[in-house]
Structure formats: structure tokens, C-alpha cells
Amino acid sequence: MSAQTPFRQIAHFLLLALLVGVGSNIAQAAQGIAQYGKPKYADGFAHFDYVNPNAPRGGTLTLPNPGQRTSFDKFNPFTLRGVTAPGIDLMFESLAEGSADEVSSIYGLLADDIEIAKDRQSVTFRIRPEAKFSDGSPVLAADVKHSFDTLMSGLAHPRYKTTFADVKQAVVISDRVVRFDFKNNNTELPIMVGTLPIFSRNWGRRPDGSMIAFDKLAFDAPIGSGPYLIESFKAGKSIVFKRNSQYWADQLAKPLNVRVGFYNFDRVLYKLYSDDAVRLEAFKAGEFDALVEYRAKIWAKGYVGSKFDNGTLLKKAFINHNGAGMQGFAMNVRKPIFQDLRVRQALGLALDFEWLNRQIFFDQYGRINSFFTNSDLSANFDGPRKPTEAELKLLKPLKAKYPQWVPDAVFGPMPLPPSTKSPGSLRQNLRQARELLMHAGWQYRDGALRNEKGEPFRMEMVENGGFFLRILSAYGRNLEKLGIQLDIRTSDFALYQKRMNEYDFDMTTTRFPDSQNPGNELWDRFGSQAAKEKGSDNIIGVQSPVLDALIEEITKAQNREELRAACRALDRVLWNSYYVIPQWYNPTHRVAFRNEMRYPEPPLYYQAEPWIMQNWWKEGAK
């Protein structure tokens, strides 16, 4: 329950019960809710433990392009086509905010009270009367419904329809009360709808009152409730956000606990650079304040020079407690050459991680060994072992019903990724690969690996930029020994994204985003329906009734133990199906920054770039 706006008056409670129409199904209202158990922070807490509540505000934070985008052509982050400007999320907020030091809890942001129905078939949010959009209009329940309905329409990115498929509807109860009804008893749904981005019904309204279609909104400034506004931009090159002087949370008589210690800069400037080398030299020249480095060699060799020697520039590896998830070479099983499991397994045996780690990565990486690497949700978390009774309870009926979709290896010890450590070797791995390929109908003749029709085994690797060229060259040499030709195609981010959206590739490098509490996003990543929709996260293209059934078990888990068993069962099926050739992960966040930058102790779970933007500050900022 919110300490700022207590929800205790009996008359008010009875009125809301009548409005919601659930009678005795009403549950206790509170500012915070958790998917399992109770949230860490009680109502009325002052601020999250991992922020500096006394951080000074002021100054400009200058950052380079995050990720791999080198340009942008729109401000609307919710549509399929185009590349969104960096930092646009600074303009949007949600009904509730997650904390970074616990798993799957949220606390009211735009909403001051949250009620989950006793049967968990709905959740109700009461919107703060002070909450306003950047144009000064109040945030109302009708805006929340508009946001949900728009994202679920055909005008938004298809992933929203997949991710929120279990949400039946958003219902306006009164001006500031909105209820979400659910189709299924999915414990994650209240968390999901609570973190849905909210935008104004007036975004895209022309002076004559007509509306621009949502999927046509490009450089029309978003109308959100976030702390920043767009001050200026150079198309595709840079964008400046300034703190909204009328930001609603800054106008409250008492500081809003979920915003204390957040967003400490007057301005945030993003500069987009053409490649990693240019970006690093710009940092050394003092053109921006901080960056996160993802390339091991550059971290080891590039962050040197007089400014590092005299302390003007600093570098630090922050411990990473996040689940590492899966990163690897993903195969598009829509293509005939990848539809045989034995072929997919053989292609994985040609990757020599130990050589790459030694020769290219300076031994900075650990090997991905699961789709939930570095998490207790991994079937390999405590070493290779057979499934538990809880896992077998899920897997055995699926094996009986869909034997072709559950590999026999699922019931043995969870295998580790291929290794060339002694007594193993690349030669042994390639021999095993050749045997698998032979049984799958591929044999070496006339200078190439060929199928029964005489067609050579040739595949295309699509990559964004030149980040992986040295790695791919080494992998390609190993494939040549099997008679496989690997064609490498690099492109800029916009073209790469277009090919991914249309599944126009054979193989590509992918990183499935980390989650400490996976749930509905798995439908978009591995669900059968998502495989049929352009732009989904299911780039693999797998359509498996077994994966669908296990994702359903994950989404309806009632406690952490049930979630762990379902995730590990899913992990076993995915891992032993060899859809992705596992790569590597970094147990730290590598960050370089100017010496006037300050930061609190990092939270338990965080991504480095958002953490810098949200919780850092500048010494002596004015």
C-alpha cells in the first residue's frame, strides 16, 4: 500500500469494489507486488537500496551509440520497420517499476496502488492524480487502455501480440482506475502489464484533429510521461534529451521512492559513431563520458594511453550476476539444410572455443553451457546430471506424446558443449561431425560435402558489421575440413535488421536477452506461433509442441521451485536439439569512463548501459 496515498478508507474501498465488479475477489492493495511471495520493499520505503539518494543533479551525460546501431530513422520504438533513436525510452514510463536487486517484483510508478484479484485472473491499477504526460495532460486509464490496444494491434511490432497473448483486455473502470483481465492463471501477467509502456492518446494528433496512423509515426515527438524530452537531433547522427522542467514526479511534495537517485543529468546526449574503432578514439579524445566494451581484444589492448596513465580516463570490470542466457550461432531451421538434428550437432563440433579464447579473447570468457547460463534455472547449473523427478514429471509425458520432438539425450546427464581441451581435440570433434553428417545423408565427394542429389553443403552467415570476422574466418576454416562452404555476408544495422525481420538468412549470431525470471517472452522466442510472424524473436523458426507445452508450464509456475523445474526441462530439450551453436559469456561488465563520473554500488541484477544512464552522476555537476 502506498504511504503517500493510503488506500484504507472503507467507503473508498467499497466504491472501488463496486466499480471493479469482483466483490469478494478483491485482494489487498499495495504499492508493490511480487510474482512469488512478497516484494523486498514494504509500502512507504524511501528509496531502493542500490541508489545514492543524495546524488547531485546536473550536467550533461554524453554517450556513444549503444549496441550496434550506427544511425536511426524514427522515434517510435514500438513498430517493426526502421531503427529507433537511442535513448527514446527516457520519454516513456509504465504503471510500475521493477527493482534491480530482486527477482520479479514491481512497485507503483504512474500507479500508486496495485491490486491482484484473489483468483489472479485480473489486476487493477490506480493511477496517481499527479501523473502527467509531457504535454501537461493527465495520465488516465483511457491512455493505458489506448497504449495496450495499440500495441496489440497490427500497427505495432508483432512481438507484443505474442508476449501479451494471455491478456484478455484492458478495462477502464474510472478516470484513474484500469483493470487488466487475463485468459489464464499466469503468475507473471500482473508484472508484465505493470511494466507496459504508456503513451498519450494524443501522440500523432494533427492540428486539425485527425490522427497519424501509429505505424506511420516516425519523427513525431512521442508524448510520454518520462523525465526527458527531445531537445534536438541530427537525423541518424545524434540526439539530445533534456530533463523536463515540469516532470510530474519532480513536482510532488514528497520524493517518489522509485525515482529517488534516478536520472541525475540535466541532459543526455547520444553520438552515433560508424564503427568500434572510431568510437574508441572518440572516447580517448574526450568526446563522451562512458562506454561499455564488448570486445575482449579491444578491452585488453585498446584502453591504454596517457589519459589512462594520468587518471583522466578509468576502466573497471564490474561483477556480473545476471543470468548469461544464450549467445551463439543460430540456425534458421526454416531452411532444409538445418532440419536434421545430426547436421546441427555436427556444425557445433566445428567451433573451437578454446582456440578462440586463447588466441582472440585473451582468456576473458567462459563457455555458454545452457540456455540459462549463469543461473540456477540452468540444467547445467550444478554440473552435468540427469533430470530430477520434477523435470521427469514434465518430460516423460511429452516424450510419449511427441517422441520426435524430445531427443533421447534429454534423459541423460546434461551434456557440456564440445571442447578441444586435452584429451579431446579439434581433430576428434571433426571426425565425430563427419560421422554425424554421413548418417544424415551428406558425404564428401568431388571436393565438397554433398547430399544424395549431389548438391554441395553451402550456407551463408549474415552479420552486422565486422565484429565477428576473425571468429568466422576461424570457424569457416574448420568447416572447410568437413567440405562445407561458409559464405560470410556483412551489412549495416538497418539492412541486417531487415533481413532478421524477414528471416532472410541461414545462420547468424544471436543473443537472447537475459532474464532472472523468464516467462511470457519465451513465447516470442521459441513459441510456434511466433515462428510464423515477421520480426519475432523466434529467429530459429522452431515450431515444437513440446517447447510450447514447457513454456506454458513456465508461465503458470506458482513458485520458484516449479519455475526452476520447468526451465531446466525446457533447457534440456533446447540444448539437445542443437538449434544454436553456443558461444561464450563475460562474467563482468567492462566499463570505461571519465574520472568525474560517480556511481553507487551496482545492484544484483543490471545491464551496464541503463545503469549508467539511470543511477550515475557527475562530480561537481551544476
Q: Are 420 and 562 part of one and the same domain?
A: yes
Answer whether residue 395 shows pLDDT above 50.
Answer: yes
Q: Is residue 295 included in any domain, yes or no?
A: yes
Q: Are 571 and 592 part of one and the same domain?
A: no
Q: Give the model's confidence band at 374: pLDDT under 50 very low, under 70 low, under 90 confident, else very high.
A: confident
Question: What confidence tens digit (pLDDT) does each residue in 581-616 have?
Answer: 999 998 899 999 999 999 999 999 999 999 999 999
Q: With contact defined as beta carbons under 8 Å apart, do 193 and 96 qualify?
A: no
Q: Are 605 and 575 part of one and the same domain?
A: no
Question: What confidence tens digit (pLDDT) does each residue in 189-218 have?
Answer: 999 999 999 999 999 999 999 999 999 999
Least confident among 4-18, 239-253, 297-311, 564-578: 4-18
Q: Give the model's confidence band at 431: pLDDT under 50 very low, under 70 low, under 90 confident, else very high.
A: very high
Answer whether residue 1 shows pLDDT above 50.
Answer: no
Please state, in angstroms and rounded to a whole number, the distance separating the CA atoms of residues 417 and 366. Answer: 12
Least confident among 97-106, 465-474, 519-528: 465-474
Q: Are 314 and 378 part of one and the same domain?
A: no
Read out DSSP for 491-529? E-HHHHHHHHHTT--SEEEEEEPP-SS--THHHHHH-TT
The residue among 6 and 285 whose pLDDT is bigger is 285
Q: Is residue 423 included in any domain, yes or no?
A: yes
Q: Are 315 and 340 part of one and the same domain?
A: no
Q: Is residue 536 included in any domain, yes or no?
A: yes
Please state, in angstroms and rounded to a whole number, the distance separating the CA atoms of residues 194 and 187. Answer: 13
**In the chain, how many domains are there?**
2
Return the pLDDT at 37. 87
Note the Cα 451 to chain centre separation in Å: 39
H-type alpha helices, 302-364: 306-309, 341-349, 353-359
CB atoms under 10 Å from CB of 74, counted, come to 18
Q: Are 363 and 428 part of one and the same domain?
A: yes
Q: Give the model's confidence band at 28: pLDDT under 50 very low, under 70 low, under 90 confident, else very high.
A: low
Return the pLDDT at 474. 96
Return the pLDDT at 18. 34
Residue type, 287: E
Return the pLDDT at 364. 87
C-alpha cell at 55: 546524488
Q: Are 604 and 505 part of one and the same domain?
A: no
Return the pLDDT at 622. 61
Please state, in angstroms and rounded to a whole number, the distance separating the CA atoms of residues 438 and 451. Answer: 9
Q: Give the model's confidence band at 7: pLDDT under 50 very low, under 70 low, under 90 confident, else very high.
A: very low
Q: With contact defined as beta carbons under 8 Å apart, do 569 and 394 qualify?
A: yes
Domain enclosing residue 286, as ranges = 272-322+588-618
Q: Which helix (H) or strand (E) holds 459?
A: strand 458-464
Q: Give the closest residue to 294 by CA, choosing from 190, 364, 397.
A: 364
Return the pLDDT at 598. 98
pTM of this prediction? 0.84
Q: Is residue 342 included in any domain, yes or no?
A: yes
Q: Are 527 and 612 part of one and the same domain?
A: no
* Helix, strand, or coil (residue 573): helix
Domain holding 402: CATH number? 3.10.105.10
Q: Are 444 and 481 part of one and the same domain?
A: yes
Residue 444: DSSP 8-state: E
Please state, in angstroms and rounded to a whole number, the distance separating the CA atoms of residues 283 and 266. Answer: 21
Q: Are 390 and 510 part of one and the same domain?
A: yes
Q: Is residue 159 included in any domain, yes or no?
A: no
Q: Is residue 192 included in any domain, yes or no?
A: no
Q: Are 307 and 438 part of one and the same domain?
A: no
Q: Is residue 432 included in any domain, yes or no?
A: yes
C-alpha cell at 265: 543529468
- The whole-number average pLDDT for the span 242-263 is 97
C-alpha cell at 551: 513454456
- Length of the chain measured in residues: 622
Q: Are 523 and 546 part of one and the same domain?
A: yes
